[in-house]
Structure 1
Amino acid sequence: MSVLSWLLDLLYPPKCVLCRKLLTGKGPVCPHCMDKLPEFDGAAPSVRFTSGGAVSFFYEGQLRESFLRFKFGGSAFYAQTYGAWMAHTIRDRLAGKYDVLTWAPVSRARKRKRGYDQSALLCREIGTQLRLEPIQTLRKIKDPPAQSTLADAAQRRANVSGAYRAEQPERFAGKRVLIIDDIVTTGATLAECSRTLLQAGASDVVYAAFAAPRIQD
């Protein structure tokens, strides 16, 4: 450990990304939380205009609270941990199914308000882990109400209709695109992004999301 790292740990003791208790060992998550990670099992949610996808976790409990701190609370550094977890899922479930790595972007207004685009941060870390440079293939040209404020799938689809524009289509034309998003609920955002990419020349689209709600039987 360098002197600088030692001093930083002394001044700002590392805390668990999930429960925020002080860490006594190595790694970003304490053993208790690691054992209780709500890993996503089963098939990923079906999303229109994609040929498949992968989800890392169920969106619940301390993981959900942790993610809200990442997305809205300024904890941008969580992307390093989340992105590494997502890269593991991608290697396991989507290997050989993509050529290009990209993300579902937020609007400029939302990025300015938060200080960063959370999906872009996740994508950057995933790219580091997979040794694949991310490409910005989409720009959000509208700033509609947040999807989480809308009650049903039809409203969410209408809310994002025409919200994205393809960027640098020559870099993904005829290629298979892996698009990164944070939370997949109805899949409306990912579907609109994927539709835009296919219309601009992508040969196929698959997705990876950090988490999805647990569907109650």
Structure 2
Amino acid sequence: MKMVDTLLDLLFPPKCPFCRRVLDAPGMCPECEKTLPWTDEAHSLRELRGGLLCAAPLWYEGPVREAVRRFKFHGGVCAAGPLGELIAQAAAERLSGEFDTVAWVPVSAKRLRKRGYDQSRLLAERACRLWDVEPEALLRKIRDNPAQSSLERAGDRWKNTQGVYEAAGSPAGKRILLIDDVCSTGSTLVSAAGVLFSAGAAGVVCASAAFPRPEEEKRGEKGKE
């Protein structure tokens, strides 16, 4: 290990992204691995609007919700590794054979400058490490719309994602795994997938780190995420 890596480990030791316990190596602690709110086989694959499929390994609650929010809004990039690997596992188990390349739902240029990183790109890059491939930048966000989490009604979230993305790179003919951090109403993924299909993608399936539980999703339709 390089001296700079040793110094960084001493100054910023790896922590479990869920409970914040200091670890010997990056990842999650054994206790969280046992106690996190995992989706079961019946709920780890969800059909979104238009028949779009999305896989997720976790429920968006408790320590998962806190970890994702730290990751997105407070620089908690140590979560990218564990979450990306869990996304890859869920995609392999539930969507195997349905994709031949990986892309992500990008943030806007304005948000990227403010945050300093694109969280979904980090997740896609980490997931792809397990397959020894690189994700492709097949989408570009062209409008800095309000954050989905700031909107309460499902209909408002759907409208908020329209006309936000455009195709980049070469989606035509490809079967794409599209990665985002959380799939709540699915509006963002459906909108982004629609752009890829319009650009000639042969297929799109999706994966994220977490779903809201069904009862939370129903409440979201009435005005809360």
Q: Is this a same-fold pair by TM over 0.5?
A: yes
3-state SS of paired residue (1:182): coil
* Structure 1 match to 2:71: 70
Matches within 5 A, 1:5-24: 6-23=6-23
3-state SS of paired residue (1:165): strand
* Structure 2 match to 1:185: 184
More off after superposition, 29-38 vs 191-200:
29-38
Q: Tell me which amino acid in the other structure corresponds to 1:29.
A: M
TM-score by length of 2: 0.87
* Structure 2 match to 1:129: 130
8 A Cα contact 1:50 1:207, kept in partner: no
Cα pair distance change 1:30/1:100, threshold 3 Å? closer
Matches within 5 A, 1:202-217: 202-216=201-215
Cα pair distance change 1:172/1:62, threshold 3 Å? same
- Unaligned 5+ runs, structure 1: none
8 A Cα contact 1:49 1:194, kept in partner: no
Output the CA distance in 1 between the equivalents of 2:175 and 2:212: 27
8 A Cα contact 1:50 1:206, kept in partner: no
Deviation at 1:45, TM superposition (A): 2.7
More off after superposition, 176-185 vs 86-95:
86-95
Percent identical among aligned pairs is 43
Output the CA distance in 2 between the equivalents of 1:130 and 1:92: 13
TM-score by length of 1: 0.90
Greater relative CO (CA pairs within 8 A, separation 6+): 1
Deviation at 1:61, TM superposition (A): 0.7
- Unaligned 5+ runs, structure 2: 219-225
Matches within 5 A, 1:21-170: 21-23=21-23, 28-41=27-40, 42-43=42-43, 44-49=45-50, 51-168=52-169
Deviation at 1:108, TM superposition (A): 0.7
Q: Tell me which amino acid in the other structure corresponds to 1:78.
A: A
Output the CA distance in 1 between the equivalents of 2:171 and 2:150: 33
3-state SS of paired residue (1:77): helix
Cα pair distance change 1:129/1:156, threshold 3 Å? same
Cα pair distance change 1:177/1:67, threshold 3 Å? same
Deviation at 1:50, TM superposition (A): 5.1
| Aligned alpha-carbon RMSD (Å) | 1.9
Deviation at 1:151, TM superposition (A): 1.6
**Number of equivalenced pairs:** 214
8 A Cα contact 2:175 2:201, kept in partner: yes
Cα pair distance change 1:49/1:22, threshold 3 Å? same
Cα pair distance change 1:188/1:34, threshold 3 Å? same
